[in-house]
Amino acid sequence: MKRAYVNPDLCIGCGLCVSTVPEVFQLNAEGISEVYAETPEDKWDDVYDAVDSCPVKAISVIDEDLPTEE
């Protein structure tokens, strides 16, 4: 199961991903983007657009089936 992820250390809160896929991204109280919902199947193209468009490359798609590195 894959899901979108925003690195809060990189995000500058420009809001582009929130505009692109409001179903998945929102700005938190600190003005930083966070993923608040699973990506609907028909929104993955938009999520990948956001990955490519993020000015600081803060968004990635991770596969939760893979073991995480400690």
Does 62 engage in binding with ligand SF4 (CB under 6 A)?
A: no
Does 21 engage in binding with ligand SF4 (CB under 6 A)?
A: no
Contact 25, 34 (CB under 8 A): yes
Does 54 engage in binding with ligand SF4 (CB under 6 A)?
A: yes
For residues 29 and 65, which CB has a smaller minimum distance to ligand SF4 in the complex? 29
Does 58 engage in binding with ligand SF4 (CB under 6 A)?
A: yes
Q: Let me know if 14 is exposed, middle or buried by CB neighbors in 10 A (0-12, 13-18, 19+).
A: middle
Mark the segment that binds ligand SF4 (CB under 6 A) among 9-17, 37-45, 60-68. 9-17
- For 31, left (φ over 0), alpha (ψ -120 to 50), or beta? left
